[in-house]
Amino acid sequence: AKLKSFAAKIIQLLKEWTETFPYDFQDEKSMKELKEIAHRITQCDEENGTVKKIISQMTQNLLMALSARSQYQEIREKFRQPVTDKGTILKTKPQSTQKDILSVCCDPLILAQQLTYIELERVSNIYPEDLMQIVSHMDSLDNHKCRGDVTKTYNLEAYDNWFNCLSMLVATEICRVDLVFCQVVKKKQRTRMVEFFIDVARECFNIGNFNSMMAII
pLDDT one-digit tens code per residue, 113-146 = 999 999 998 888 887 877 777 777 666 555 555 4
In CATH, which of 1.10.490.10, 1.20.1440.130, 3.30.70.640, 1.10.840.10 is domain 101-138+152-216? 1.10.840.10
Largest CA distance in the chain: 87
Non-local CB neighbours of 114 within 8 Å, separated by 6+ positions: 105
pLDDT one-digit tens code per residue, 19-78 = 888 888 888 888 889 888 888 888 776 666 777 888 888 889 888 888 887 777 777 666
DSSP string, 125-142: T--HHHHHHHHHHHHHHH
Give 3-state DSSP helix, strand, coil % of the chain, rounded to 5.
80, 0, 20
- Residue that wins the pLDDT comparison between 185 and 202: 202
Answer for the pair 216, 200: CB distance below 8 angstroms, yes or no.
yes
| Cα angle value 132/137/140 (rounded, 5°) | 125
Compute the distance between CA of residue 197 and CA of residue 190 in angstroms, rounded to an integer. 11
What is the pLDDT, as a whole number, of residue 87? Answer: 55
The domain segmentation of the chain, as residue ranges, is: 1-75, 101-138+152-216
> In percent, how much of the chain has pLDDT > 90?
23
Summarize the confidence of residues 102-122 as an average pLDDT. Answer: 91
What is the pLDDT, as a whole number, of residue 94? Answer: 60
Q: Does the structure show a pLDDT above 70 at 203?
A: yes
Summarize the confidence of residues 190-211 as an average pLDDT. Answer: 94
What is the pLDDT, as a whole number, of residue 147? Answer: 47
